[in-house]
Structure 1
Amino acid sequence: MSKINLNVLFKKIQKDDKKQVLEYHVQGDELPSSQELVQLAGSIAVIEIEGSEAGPINAEFKSIQRDSKKTALKFNVSGGSDDKVIKLYPFAGSSVNLLIQPSQMSLEEFYDEDEHEGVAYTVENDGSVSVPDGQLSLDDIPFGEEGNVAHDDDELN
C-alpha cells in the first residue's frame, strides 16, 4: 500500500493523560482511496501534514466514520510524540494535505513505548512480598491512626 494523500479539514486535537486524538474531516460524498483507508483502520499508520515541521508521526488509526456530509478520520497518538504533535497546533482548524501510509509497527509495540518497569518484587510461598534493597516497601512508610500516613507538617515545607 502506498501513501494516501488527502485534502482534509484538521478538525481538532484533543489531549488526555495518555494520548492525543487527532481528528480530520474529508468533505463531500467521495472519499479517495476509501478501500485502502478502511483496511488501514484499526492499525498503526504513519501520518504527516504536508508543510509541517513535525514530520511523520506514528499513530493508531482509531476509526473512520462516514455520514452524508463528511468522513471523519480519528488517530490516537501516544505520549512519546508530544513534541511532534505540538508542532501541529498551528494547522488545527484549517485545510491541510494529510499523508497516510501503513506502519511496520504493531499495536502492541505502539502502546508498549510508554511502559515502565515499576517496582520489582517477589511473592513468597506464604503470601508475603519482598522487594530488593533500595526500593521502598510498605514497612518503610510510617502509618498513623486509622491507617493514614503519619507525617510531620514541618518536613513537608
Structure 2
Amino acid sequence: MTKTILNVLFKKMQKDDKKEILHFHVQGNDLPNTQELVGLAGSIVILNVNESEAGTFNAEFVSVQKDSKKTALKFNIKGDSDDKVIKLYPHAGRSVTLYMEPSQKSFDDFNEEDEHEGIEYKINTDGTAVISPNQMSIEDVVPEDKSEVLKSKL
C-alpha cells in the first residue's frame, strides 16, 4: 500500500495511562481511499500530522466509524517520547493534513514497547507463583539488626 493523505479535522487528543489517543474527523460523505482505510483499521500505521516537527509516529489504527455527516478515525500512540507527542497539541482542534502508511512493525512489537524488566516467575496450575530462588528479596536488603532501622526512623 502507498501513503494515504487525508484532509481531516484533528478533533481531540486524550492521554491515557499508557498511550495518547488521537481522534480525527473527515467531514462529508466523500472519503477518498475508503477501501484502503478499512483495510488498515486494526493494524499498525505510520502517522504524520501536517508534516510537523513532531515527525512520524507508530500508531495503532483502532477504528474507522462512518455516519451520515462524518467519518471518525481513532489512533493510539504509545512508546514515543512525551516531548515528541506534545508537539501535536497545537494542531488539535484544527483542520490538518494526515499522512498515513502501513508500518513494517507488527502488532506484537507495538504492544511490547511498554514491557519493562521485572521479576520472572511461572504460574502453577493451582494459581500459585513460583519465583526463581536467585531472586533478591526484601530480607536480603534489610539489615540483620532491626534496631538500626528503628533508630534511623526516629
Which TM-score applies when normalising by structure 1?
0.80
Match of residue 132 from structure 1: 134
Percent of residue pairs identical: 58
Deviations for 1:100-134, whole angstroms, at most 9, x for unmatched residues? 100010100001112112114589xxx8644426x
Listed as ranges, the gaps of 5+ residues in structure 1 are 143-150
Whichever residue aligns with residue 35 of structure 2, its letter is Q
Q: Offset of 1:12 from its aligned partner? A: 0.6
- Cα distance in 2 for residues equivalent to 1:57 and 1:122: 35
Cα distance change, pair 129–33 in 1 and its aligned pair in 2 (3 A) = closer
Q: Offset of 1:21 from its aligned partner? A: 0.3
- Cα distance in 2 for residues equivalent to 1:41 and 1:96: 20
Runs (4+) of structure 1 exceeding 4 A deviation are 138-142
Match of residue 86 from structure 2: 86
Match of residue 17 from structure 1: 17
- Cα distance in 1 for residues equivalent to 2:139 and 2:52: 52
Cα distance change, pair 100–129 in 1 and its aligned pair in 2 (3 A) = closer
Please identify, of 113-122 and 34-43, the stretch whose mean Cα deviation from structure 2 is larger. 113-122
- Equivalent residue pairs, number: 143
Is the 1:8–1:95 Cα contact (8 Å) retained in structure 2? yes
Q: Offset of 1:139 from its aligned partner? A: 4.2
Cα distance change, pair 114–122 in 1 and its aligned pair in 2 (3 A) = closer
Whichever residue aligns with residue 109 of structure 2, its letter is E
Q: Offset of 1:140 from its aligned partner? A: 5.3
Q: Offset of 1:29 from its aligned partner? A: 0.6
Q: Offset of 1:138 from its aligned partner? A: 5.2
Deviations for 1:32-70, whole angstroms, at most 9, x for unmatched residues? 100000000000000101241111110000000011110
Listed as ranges, the gaps of 5+ residues in structure 2 are 124-128, 143-148
Is the 1:45–1:59 Cα contact (8 Å) retained in structure 2? yes
Is the 2:65–2:72 Cα contact (8 Å) retained in structure 1? yes
- Cα distance in 1 for residues equivalent to 2:99 and 2:44: 14
1:101 counterpart = 2:98: no
